[in-house]
Chains A and B, each alone.
Chain A
């Protein structure tokens, strides 16, 4: 039975079509930039429409479906199946928003401009595809497709040990997805299962599926793939390298949406399809989360490179996602729902906050040519707009009430506290440390006496201010009206928590 709404297909493939147009038509660098901008603006509008059209109150679990038979041999069938639910709809919006900001943040790219924007647009198609695919093969295809543009973006336009970092990123992710592939194939061949149909598995659950390899292996193989992407300790080591050496816009995409693929996978597949096993292993997840939060937070304190600092803080903050998921360890009641909603919220809020922070660092670096914190200082007078945005991003990151970061963190801790009070209390120290490293960083980088060597530094320009403003607005709006998102996430997580008895 095929059905075709078309909207999600458009959201996913518009950037790809744009990339092909760029290759074929755009001659001058200026025209390349403008075309890319037009494409991402259109894609952002489409993403916003998807978010608006998703009906959280009524309607079916998965909406806006595009489905037809894609591969059909005697032994292998796969669907082209796209759809959104409450978990993916906000992430589509996030991807649209960050894609737009990334193109704006790339305005100053001078080298091999056309290639750069082509890869950036291909990347956006891949990430969008991951969030809306509801067939395992298609999901895996987009998951892998994202590797190639990232590899090129880091290793050509990056800095420092860029080729090493790009290869490290690729090998880690590729190895993680190798595990995932085995799990997918095992589910596909499970007796009487839903084959590759993710909707089918989401509805029936895979906890008791009879697969050729033990189902717990399937569960953990999936988990490894998502843990690498998220990343969790001890498979996080690719992230600081990749972030530090990537160009600004790519760091934004990496922290803003690519890490969210891992969190999304945990929600959609680990919790969504293996709810009972997640509950059984909730303690392990929580311990991993707490270790990640604390270790990364302590390491962050010691960083002297601005980008590396934010990269490590990302690791710590993504640990919160797993902490929220670990909250399903408390059976019944509304608390596990709080944890899951917090985890999902954290995906969105961390995306915008870290996107903003990386953007600020990029703009700063553009002018000062250093990211070494002791060399910086006194820049707030020279770049007031940037300083305001940077401070808002920083405060949101440490969880100031009224900004978006607070909402997700409080939800995660409320849920997790009920499940594992002592561990959660320990994890909460991560927030204390976060306040330390964020404020200390802001103070050293932006404030203090004006420095002679930065006398030539001018204020940020319009092309830098637009994405900063967009991200700041989203942070404030979500902070003040969190229900805009929590209602949607709740609707998406409802069927999962219903299984858990929430």
Chain B
């Protein structure tokens, strides 16, 4: 490992250092609130280092810095995800300060494990080699599995075990797929795989050969688990219901983003020559995922299960962005797909965090996760009810919210790639989803609370919630705030 490698990895290294520092402090500090403070303040370091790297990368001719024997590519694409994950973590740690207060003796570990998992996700977005990619994936997944059991209830334990087993199975599928791809191409480097497959072997078979077809399908199945797309979503409802809410929030936002990051990286770099084949594969997965997610969400009575199916549906919308690979079709111009998807991931992150923050407080203060108990929430706390309602409106895709613009971008890219039917499926699904999201809004504003209990929130939480909710609005009225980043990031994929 050279000094240059250390520089390239500095955000991740500083994050690991921060995790160790927090866990170490946990042993000596008596006031545990300090841990959150240190963790949130400490995030400034990886953020600053990422900004330095962004400036550095911008001046490079090919827009990337390659390190660690070519296994990592630090480019705007990877850096976008570093920003996203650091931002999500900052908000999440600040918001979960009340929640973690109720886990005596585990707060250091809680924060430390989240930081370690985030390190894995950041590495994942930069990985350009299959083994590195796999290691990063495991680094991001294992801490999450441990965290899932942190509620110390039987349900939480069950969720953790399910998560462990299914995560193991998906890893096995992924590894097997990678092995097959390696067998066909003789290399683990994505760019070299792409070069080896530059001319399709047999145009009559999808992906050029049966072996490669099997390999790709196994890889998609492995990643499909990560992004909780149907039909690989079975774990999501149980884990969401059983796991601690902050962990679930992190899972639904950062983990999903990292999963999409690596999906985009792998398919755009390693399989550009057979893009029409995987475009259709993702288009079908997209429709299945959004339809199944929305239909299942309609019949849920537990809010966390509902949000689990909602993330399945949103994985479907996001897959629309993967399916849209227009550039390869008309040969000029660039695909709208990746840029739209990146924007959507950003907008989805703040939207879903906003929703989960409110769920977190309600679960904490009212000891309930049942949707019926949200009745009259506007009377208990207008702030919380408004934030949740706004997030739900964004999830439907009604203006002026980030996901409204995000959906416009995604569906535009679908129509642009000649997948107008996919855009129609997406739009119709949005209409269906309005039904179950609005059911919650209706309860909050039109229902009567079961008791006179008011809900107060701490300053740190209120601040985090306000920041995320305002971001949802800001992305809805001024998408430029991040499109200049997502544009640059998307261009990396197009070579």
A residues at B contact (CB < 8 Å): 71-76, 137, 141-142, 144-145, 147-148, 151-152, 155-156, 163, 167, 170-171, 174-175, 178-179, 181-182, 185-186, 188-189, 212-213
Contact = CB atoms under 8 A, between A and B. Distances in A.
A170 B442 CA distance: 13
Nearest to B494: A74
A72 B483 contact: yes
Interface stretch (B243-251, B429-437, B454-462): B429-437
A466 to B, nearest CB: 31
Nearest to A72: B480
A155 B441 CA distance: 11
Nearest to B427: A178
Q: What are the 10 A-B residue pairs with the smallest beta carbon separation, nearest first?
A: A75-B336, A178-B427, A141-B399, A73-B483, A185-B415, A213-B420, A174-B431, A145-B399, A71-B479, A175-B431
B344 to A, nearest CB: 12
Interface string B206-247: 000000000000000000000000000000000000000000
Given A71-B480, A145-B400, A182-B424, A76 B336 contact: yes
Contact of B483 (A71, A144, A147, A148): A71
B182 interface: no
B376 to A, nearest CB: 12
B294 interface: no
B413 interface: yes
A44 B176 CA distance: 69
B440 interface: no
Contact of B420 (A76, A152, A156, A186): A186
Given A72-B483, A73-B487, A170-B434, A163 B446 contact: yes
A188 B434 CA distance: 26
B400 A141 contact: yes
Contact of A148 (B339, B393, B420, B435): B393
B105 interface: no
A189 B416 CA distance: 6
Contact of A155 (B400, B446, B479): B446
Q: Which of B399, B411, B413, B435: most chain A Cβ within 10 A?
A: B399
B434 to A, nearest CB: 6
A74 B342 CA distance: 13
A188 B428 contact: no
B438 A170 contact: yes
Contacts of B335: 75
A277 B155 CA distance: 61
Interface of B: 333-336, 339-340, 343, 393, 398-400, 404-405, 408-409, 411-413, 415-416, 418, 420, 423-424, 427-428, 430-431, 434-435, 438, 442, 445-446, 479-480, 483, 486-487, 490-491
B424 to A, nearest CB: 6
A189 B418 CA distance: 10
Contacts of B483: 71-73
A25 to B, nearest CB: 15
Contacts of A155: 442, 446
A152 B445 contact: yes
A151 B334 CA distance: 40
A146 to B, nearest CB: 10
Contacts of B409: 73, 76
17 contacts: A74-B339, A74-B490, A74-B491, A75-B333, A75-B413, A76-B336, A141-B400, A144-B399, A144-B404, A147-B398, A156-B446, A174-B431, A182-B423, A182-B427, A185-B423, A186-B415, A212-B415
Contacts of B339: 73-75
Nearest to A213: B420
Contact of B334 (A75, A148, A174, A189): A75
Nearest to B398: A144
A171 B427 contact: no
A4 B404 CA distance: 26
Nearest to B335: A75
A182 B419 CA distance: 11
A299 B420 CA distance: 39
Contacts of A182: 411, 415, 420, 423-424, 427
B431 A171 contact: yes
B408, B479, B490 pick with most chain A CB within 10 angstroms: B408
A156 B411 contact: no
Contacts of A76: 336, 340, 408-409, 412
Contacts of B479: 71, 73
A182 B427 CA distance: 8
